[in-house]
Amino acid sequence: MSRAAITIRRMEPGDLPEVERIQTSSPEASQWKPEDYLHYESIVAELAGRIAGFAVARRLPPDEIEILNVATGPSSRRQGVGKALLRELLNLHEGVLFLEVRESNSAARALYEAAGFREAGRRKNYYAKAGIPAGLREDAVVMKLQK
């Protein structure tokens, strides 16, 4: 059985309602204002004519890139969307790439490790954890890829 083709393109203002829907349905993703993504390098993945996911990165001098967010809609997971988004970001950038991911997000961590990212450190008690009292937080795993 073949997979549907995934198309990657730049994020546009008209994409923001769908980007917000995906972000809201992905509590493990960073929850930023979607309109702010347009100030960075932002892309969307289309699958079967619908936006299935998005990714956002920013350039840091002199030759570093920070991946700020990657999210895939729940109905589009396990279909290669996250992998396609990450591959496009890697194709667009040379140098050192950084990202951070929730310690508990094992699917995302496996995706990043398969792409060559390695743990470079941790940010203790960085993320609020859904359903957990405000005083308890989850570590962020900082990952790095040298291209």
Give the residue numbers annotated as catalytic, written as ranges. Answer: 100, 112
Q: Is 33 helix (H, G, I), strand (E, B) or coil?
A: coil
Single-letter amino acid, residue 56: V
CA atoms within 13 A on the CB side of 88: 21
Structure tokens at 42: 């932002």
Cis peptide leading into residue 17 (ω within 30°): no
Residue in 100, 5, 13 with CA at minimum distance from that of residue 45 = 5
